[in-house]
């Protein structure tokens, strides 16, 4: 699972029947440097399935790959990224971040 920031909404003109009622968001994965404010996000954007109503600017926990389709079992959905949670707060410990950086 990774943390991502919602940067937009995806609207479909036509889609597979499996996407009926889908709410899709555009998100950019966040690294530790992004979360601590020392770098701007530079990862490739993802389209994720969102059942929670996340909005632009919110941080979410996302699962990818096969795990992203698990909430829909036994039905098949062509989903590669799924919003598993909207994050209210992330508390980063500056001392732990420095320790992680010096161990690499």
- Position 6 scores a pLDDT of 96
- Taken in order 61, 66, 67, 69, the sign of the CA dihedral is positive
- Taken in order 101, 89, 6, 86, the sign of the CA dihedral is positive
Q: Per-domain residue ranges for the chain?
A: 2-102
- Position 72 scores a pLDDT of 55
**Paired sense of beta strands 59-64 and 81-87, if any:** antiparallel
As averages over each run of 10 residues, the pLDDT of the chain (104 residues) reads 93 77 89 82 87 94 71 62 90 79 68
Two tokens at 20?
């009926």
What's 2-102's CATH class? mainly beta
From 27, 2, 23, select the one nearest 84 (Cα to Cα).
2
User: Model-level pTM?
Assistant: 0.78
- Position 59 scores a pLDDT of 96
């Amino acid at each position: 699972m990774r943390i991502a920031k919602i940067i937009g909404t995806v609207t479909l003109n036509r889609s597979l029947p499996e996407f009926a009622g889908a709410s899709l968001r555009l998100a950019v994965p966040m690294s530790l440097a992004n979360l601590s404010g020392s770098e701007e996000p530079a990862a490739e954007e993802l389209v994720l399935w969102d059942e929670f109503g996340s909005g632009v600017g919110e941080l979410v926990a996302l699962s990818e790959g096969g795990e992203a389709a698990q909430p829909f079992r036994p039905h098949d959905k062509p989903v590669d990224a799924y919003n598993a949670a909207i994050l209210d707060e992330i508390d980063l410990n500056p001392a732990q971040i420095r320790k992680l950086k010096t161990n690499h």
